Amino acid sequence: MIAPDLTTAIDRLGALLDEASVVLPFTGAGISTECGIPDFRSPGGLWTKTQPIPFDQFMASQDMRDEAWRRRFVMDEYFANAKPGRGHRALASLYRVGKVRAVITQNIDNLHQVSGIAQHDIVELHGNTTFATCVACDRRYELDWVKDKYQAAGGRAPHCACNGYIKTATVSFGQAMPEDAMLRAHDLTGSCDLFISIGSSLVVWPAAGFPLRAKQKGARLAIVNREPTEFDEMADLVIRHDIGEVLGPFIAH
């Protein structure tokens, strides 16, 4: 059912939260737009400006790797300055009181960690863009190091000591999903009684399968997203309002 107005939306979400024992938030790019990080699919979002570089193209060409890093450094203007928004802070409040035990996120911006949720309770389905790894040996690299090397080489992406390619620690289109994160998300969705999808268009698979699975396993499903999603019909509550406005009242002060 679609909440008719913001007040009703907040009341109904509050009631669902009160009735639930295990709340599982599932977040997408929309929770971070108020932090200054554009999403992919809103009008003017990243998708409408530049198509992402698929994994096979990154692996196949030095020019593509150079371009991937050029874009990442341009995006640093957004990522480096972002602070958790009201949505992140509300979820961190629910985490502190034990209502939320873990968060599944499609986001790569590290803002759930910064909001105070422990790393081991954050399931990152699409990785994390605030550091890099070698795709061959998995060695970790900090972005400042990559940037120094990139600039010193006149805009060429550096290689790892093992000669593998260094890439942000994110999952690109066409790249295998992280097995541990997928298994953990699978388990969590089977054992929650309220699943809240927040700021996701729910079109990126396999991530979009989790709300479906939670519902099939008997959890209630709430969707907070200002645009309609394909899953709205099966949801117990649909809230098409701004995430900060909806979740702000759940921040514990």
Query: Should residue 200 be labelled a site residue for ligand NAD when binding is judged by CB under 6 A?
Result: yes
Query: Should residue 30 be labelled a site residue for ligand NAD when binding is judged by CB under 6 A?
Result: yes
Beta strands (DSSP E) in 100-165 are: 103-105, 122-124, 127-134, 140-141
Length of the chain: 253
As annotated, the active-site residues are 126
DSSP code at position 51: P
Report the nearest approach of ligand NAD to the CB of residue 18 (Å).
Answer: 23
Residue of 98, 92, 95, 122 lying closest to 21 (CA atoms): 98
Among 23, 24, 26, 28, indicate the residue that binds ligand NAD (CB under 6 A).
Answer: 28
Report the nearest approach of ligand NAD to the CB of residue 170 (Å).
Answer: 7
SS3 assignment, position 237 = strand
Query: Should residue 107 be labelled a site residue for ligand NAD when binding is judged by CB under 6 A?
Result: yes
Query: Should residue 247 be labelled a site residue for ligand NAD when binding is judged by CB under 6 A?
Result: no
Query: Should residue 39 be labelled a site residue for ligand NAD when binding is judged by CB under 6 A?
Result: yes
Token pair 């890099």: residue: 132
Q: Please list the alpha-helical segments (H only) found in the chain.
A: 6-19, 46-49, 55-60, 62-79, 86-96, 111-115, 143-152, 179-190, 209-216, 243-247
Report the nearest approach of ligand NAD to the CB of residue 163 (Å).
Answer: 28
Nearer to ligand NAD, 159 or 177 (CB): 177
Nearer to ligand NAD, 81 or 151 (CB): 81
Report the nearest approach of ligand NAD to the CB of residue 120 (Å).
Answer: 19
Alpha-carbon gap, residue 77 to 169, rounded angstroms = 18
Among 6, 17, 41, 249, indicate the residue that binds ligand NAD (CB under 6 A).
Answer: 41
Among 74, 227, 230, 252, indicate the residue that binds ligand NAD (CB under 6 A).
Answer: 227
Among 42, 71, 101, 156, indicate the residue that binds ligand NAD (CB under 6 A).
Answer: 42
Query: Should residue 54 be labelled a site residue for ligand NAD when binding is judged by CB under 6 A?
Result: no
Helices 209-216 & 179-190, crossing angle to 10 degrees?
30
For strands 122-124 and 140-141, give the pairing: unpaired
Q: Which residue is nearest to ligand NAD (CB)?
A: 30
Report the nearest approach of ligand NAD to the CB of residue 86 (Å).
Answer: 9
CB burial readout 168-184, b (16+ within 10 A) else e: bbbbbeebeebeebbeb
Query: Should residue 226 be labelled a site residue for ligand NAD when binding is judged by CB under 6 A?
Result: yes
Interacting residues of 186 by C-beta distance below 8 A, sequence separation 6+: 210, 213
Among 20, 23, 33, 90, indicate the residue that binds ligand NAD (CB under 6 A).
Answer: 33
Interacting residues of 222 by C-beta distance below 8 A, sequence separation 6+: 13, 16, 194, 195, 196, 197, 235, 236, 237, 238, 239
Q: By CB under 6 A, how many residues form the interface with ligand NAD? A: 27
Residues that bind ligand NAD (CB under 6 A): 28-30, 32-34, 37, 39-42, 45-46, 106-109, 126, 199-201, 204, 225-227, 242-243
